[in-house]
């Protein structure tokens, strides 16, 4: 699993002119699922995201997690995170999991991150054409891949 985390002061997801998710301070998580992902990847990535100290403490030092801050999270599925651009100018998405594999993993990830955060999160809709708006705070953008744990 690959995730791009963006620390935000606000973010929203719109599908067909309908706003389906909206948060203020917290994280926008773009999530890519690949064929080899397992429940172990879900557990590791969720704990990493909810514990990562990328929010400022009272001294202005990044020393607080989204969980410590009681921040919110929006998760958006994004298969293009697994794009391979090695050959030519057209990206290959061969590593991105097909919907029959990706959807159950994505749904399990949503449940796990809610559990780890200790409150409900919001999300886009898997496979939908989504419009994502955000105000990146910092800017702080972190890329995490569950296949690169060390």
User: Which residues are tagged catalytic?
Assistant: 78-80
Spatial separation of the C-alpha atoms in residues 15 and 38, rounded to whole Å: 28
Burial 26-61 (b: 16+ CB within 10 A, else e): bbbbbbbbbeebeeebbbbbbebbbebebbbeeeee
Q: Are strands 2-15 and 26-32 parallel, antiparallel or unpaired?
A: antiparallel
């Amino acid at each position: 699993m690959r995730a791009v985390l963006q620390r935000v002061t606000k973010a929203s997801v719109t599908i067909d002119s309908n706003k389906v998710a909206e948060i203020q301070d917290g994280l926008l998580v773009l999530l890519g699922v690949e064929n080899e992902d397992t429940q172990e990847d879900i557990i590791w990535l969720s704990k990493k995201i909810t514990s990562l100290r990328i929010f400022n403490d009272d001294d202005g030092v990044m020393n607080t997690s989204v969980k410590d801050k009681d921040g919110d999270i929006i998760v958006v599925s994004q298969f293009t995170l697994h794009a391979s651009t090695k050959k030519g100018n057209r990206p290959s998405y061969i590593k991105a999991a097909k919907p029959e594999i990706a959807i159950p993993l994505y749904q399990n990830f949503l449940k796990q991150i809610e559990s780890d955060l200790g409150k409900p999160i919001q999300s886009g809709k898997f496979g939908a054409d989504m419009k994502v708006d955000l105000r990146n705070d910092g800017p702080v953008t972190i890329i995490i891949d569950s296949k690169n744990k060390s």
